[in-house]
Structure 1
């Protein structure tokens, strides 16, 4: 009937995944969901509170329309508003949960962190900061303007892989709220794995030459040149000679590797 009000009694999010059991274990172990119903390739989960119910369906199941059977749940964020977000992050870290974006606070008062389940489903826990009264500050003369910070790299910010050394600079754990920056050093002849990243990256080569293959196209980037890599496109980086580069990216970017389910955080960007 035109003009009739929508009467919603409950809400359910249906997710198509490769491994139903892995996602079911993740949501039940870390986020307090319980199994309401389950069968081969299917699980219905509920918390009994304001959180949306979840239905997990195995990719390829015939209950889905043919055009949707092979579409896996990606590119979405399942957000849950909570209270006591610091305690929640501490609890989840202690339980070994896969936290892929550490706790941060946005300028508009949203406090959040993210987990990623084994099928790549991103779960975001959110708490809104209590707004202060106009003019209210912690100390006399103190303002709400963010303080300038100087970040110095330390040995604890260095990640060595078989092909490169990444040294983290700015990141959410080191004073930045929006961007992550780091340096990459590669020895001559080294080649990184083929992968994609969910956010745009900007690479400025500071020494040597890098050969970057992206979406089937290969470019040589020499010292002083800058390369912009688009998000979600396969790339591979090769050092034909010893090379170094400076990289910048939004701090919530994660990597994907062909043939491997789920996403991987970039430790030097956390």
Structure 2
């Protein structure tokens, strides 16, 4: 399988406290902000603080793929348990969830051509 991009997704218990920590204390540059969170540059990767969903101290690995539904079939054919089947989310992304042996959530994501993540924001 080909991974196009990845990021660490954190769902903190106190979003504002974590936002201040990553933005103000660590001084990480903001890659983008959206109504439910903030994404920071972290070298060759990204760290996303999400102000939605249940807090998860272990974090979540976000993996972007070209064709989510093909990846789902490939993993199912290998007998990999899928925690949540692929579907389009209200925010426009297509997502499928798996859980690794240690309980870390892996979210496989397909970004549709019309999604804001595909648009050039330089205007």
TM bucket by the smaller chain?
Answer: 0.3 to 0.5
Could you state the TM-score of these two structures normalised by the residue count of structure 1? 0.23
Instruction: Identify the structure with bigger relative contact order (alpha carbons < 8 Å, sequence gap 6+).
Output: 2
Could you state the TM-score of these two structures normalised by the residue count of structure 2? 0.46
